[in-house]
């Protein structure tokens, strides 16, 4: 059994897709990051960077419970545990790895900053808003060039697609026109049709709290609570 710690965000959906695709048994624990659950000691013992997603595999590598955080690391761990969605060796393995790192080091942080400065920042900062919009569009174009030649980002459907899809399929949320990146659009539709992906979107595709974040949520994420020493 895998204990899976989530909030209703793209980073959690990456791991949820892998869990659904592989059929591993898991139970979900909701960590309400707007209410400060991520700072509870029990959660920090699992995820010291106070972020979801995280998992505890009750049947870890030595038969012992094993905790791991960072969605990219979790995806690699689950791929190696199941032997699925990551080639075992050779150039195909590094192809998946490079696109997974592209998501973790590029798409995740840049789209995340786009989201922050467009939706959450309490000051409108035109330079930051424009920089992350342009950088997001540039990253979409990089994907579009590759997906013009391949159905999936690293050849076969892999953990790299699972990492990219939850962030990239929501064109409007990133201020992007899908018609400007038609190969990404077709890829997003192709993946969105998968049963596992549809199950994830039914379960954690929408947040129970929508609309502008309230003061408590803002304080936990971007205010004094986030930066308190623990």
Ligand X SMILES: N[C@@H](CCC(=O)N[C@@H](CS)C(=O)NCC(=O)O)C(=O)O
CB of residue 225 to ligand X, shortest distance in Å: 9
List the one residue out of 76, 81, 78, 69 whose CA is nearest residue 97.
76
Q: Angle 10-22/159-168 helices, nearest 10 degrees? A: 140
Residues of span 60-119 touching ligand X by CB under 6 A:
70-71, 108
Closest approach, Cβ 169 to ligand X, in A, equals 16
Q: Which of 51, 169, 185, 217 is close enough to bind ligand X by CB under 6 A?
A: 51
Q: Fill in the per-residue mask, 202 to 221: x = in contact with ligand X (CB under 6 A), - = not in contact.
A: -------------------x
166 binds ligand X (CB under 6 A): no
Stretch that binds ligand X, among 6-14, 132-140, 168-176, 182-190 (CB under 6 A): 6-14
Residue among 2 and 52 whose Cβ is closer to ligand X: 52
Site string for ligand X, 8-27 (x = CB under 6 A): -x-x----------------
Minimum distance from residue 32 beta carbon to ligand X (Å) = 10
Binder among 38, 113, 136, 176 for ligand X (CB under 6 A): 38
User: Long-range pairs for 145-153 at CB < 8 Å and ≥24 separation?
Assistant: 145/183, 146/183, 147/183, 147/184, 147/186, 147/187, 148/183, 151/187, 151/190, 152/187, 152/190, 153/99, 153/187
Residue 39 CB contacts under 8 Å (≥ 6 apart), including other chains: 50, 220, 225, 228, 230
Residues that bind ligand X (CB under 6 A): 7, 9, 11, 33, 38, 50-53, 70-71, 108, 221, 226
């Amino acid at each position: 059994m895998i204990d899976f710690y989530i909030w209703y965000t793209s980073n959690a959906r990456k791991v949820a897709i892998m869990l659904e695709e592989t059929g591993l048994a898991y139970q979900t624990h909701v960590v309400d990051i707007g209410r400060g659950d991520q700072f509870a000691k029990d959660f920090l013992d699992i995820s010291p960077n106070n972020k979801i997603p995280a998992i505890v595999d009750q049947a870890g590598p030595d038969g012992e419970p094993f905790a791991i955080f960072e969605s990219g690391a979790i995806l690699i761990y689950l791929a190696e545990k199941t032997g699925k969605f990551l080639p075992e060796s050779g150039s195909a393995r590094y192809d998946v790895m490079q696109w997974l790192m592209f998501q973790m080091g590029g798409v995740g942080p840049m789209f995340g900053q786009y989201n922050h400065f467009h939706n959450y920042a309490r000051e409108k900062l035109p330079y930051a808003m424009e920089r992350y919009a342009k950088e997001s569009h540039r990253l979409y174009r990089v994907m579009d060039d590759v997906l013009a030649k391949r159905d999936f980002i690293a050849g076969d459907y892999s953990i790299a697609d699972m990492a990219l899809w939850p962030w990239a399929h929501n064109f409007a949320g990133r201020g992007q026109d899908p018609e400007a990146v038609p190969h990404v659009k077709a890829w997003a539709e192709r993946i969105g049709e998968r049963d596992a992906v549809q199950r994830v979107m039914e379960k954690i595709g929408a947040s129970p709290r929508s609309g502008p974040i309230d003061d408590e949520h803002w304080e936990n994420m971007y205010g004094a609570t986030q930066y308190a020493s623990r």
